[in-house]
Homo-oligomer: A and B are copies of this chain.
């Protein structure tokens, strides 16, 4: 008798890898130069319809990966957006064909700065080219076509993922019927850049960063990378969420006051920093944060010409307590798109959890996504 799949789960999944660009036919980069080969790690959930009109591309955030839903063999925890993706969930895999892929510049199977450059047989390191948002889009577009999809029913993503969706839909409105831009920004503030600048500094100042040659030297800038993550993590949660979770509680194992882990919140941050080391790469942190720093699509002349000619259905969401890319960031996106004649739905979702809310099963958030995606599918079915 076959095992009954867990209700609401896409079940067992594996990450596939495909070479989308080669050394001979490389990716042409936004800032000039080329990159090849380019491999991309991806997962899909659900079934592509015969008309290939039910595909939804999920774009991950800074430290995400292709594993958005279901379980890898032997894993205890599912993919990072498993609360959203699965049978009967808002991104219902009984009806949608969901694509999730690791970003180039990342470190979970797609080509990035810690990949080996076949031309030299050495890790790229800081010789890896600087990327722009359009490069990230170009690779995911190529994957989409590779999977037989020429028009996405929807692209959605939070944070950096939402920024990628924005660029994708602005540049190729005919290929993205619905764009869901969540807890994102059309341009970072000085404060946003400042936090990432200090994180990068912590990484590069670690002696084991070794000018980006840490892999060749058999070391890893664990200290710097964990400090970067600890600091960034503070900005992912609202002040109230940290108070609610930890307040001023002492760390249960605190003996004498000192400079170690005296408070529960210190233990939490320490854990976040350490756990991050198992899944993320220091060079990817540098490259992908710089993609965000330089992202400023509305500053480009003609940025809105394509969508003026061929509008996209937009859903822009912010979270009330997000102080990284808060409602101000979303409102700016909404105002700009509306001035370009776009149909835009906007919601500020009440949530106490700050920026991280986009990863959580906040009820009004999921209800809004479900309604928007259902309507999108109904439009296609008509």
Contact = CB atoms under 8 A, between A and B. Distances in A.
Interface in A333-380: none
Contacts of A286: 259
Given A31-B257, A130-B257, A205-B223, A266 B194 contact: yes
Interface residues of A, number: 46
A187 interface: yes
Contact of A193 (B187, B207, B248): B248
A256 B82 CA distance: 40
A247 interface: yes
B130 A190 contact: no
Interface in A208-256: 223, 227, 230-231, 234, 237, 239, 242-243, 245-248
Nearest to A208: B207
From A195, A227, A259, residue with most partner B Cβ within 10 Å: A259
B266 A193 contact: yes
Main secondary structure of the interface of A (DSSP, over half): helix
Interface string A283-294: 000100010011
A201 interface: yes
A314 to B, nearest CB: 23
A182 B183 CA distance: 34
Interface centre among A130, A198, A204, A223 (most CB of B within 10 A): A198
A91 interface: no
A263 interface: yes
A171 interface: no
Given A248-B188, A257-B290, A198 B269 contact: yes
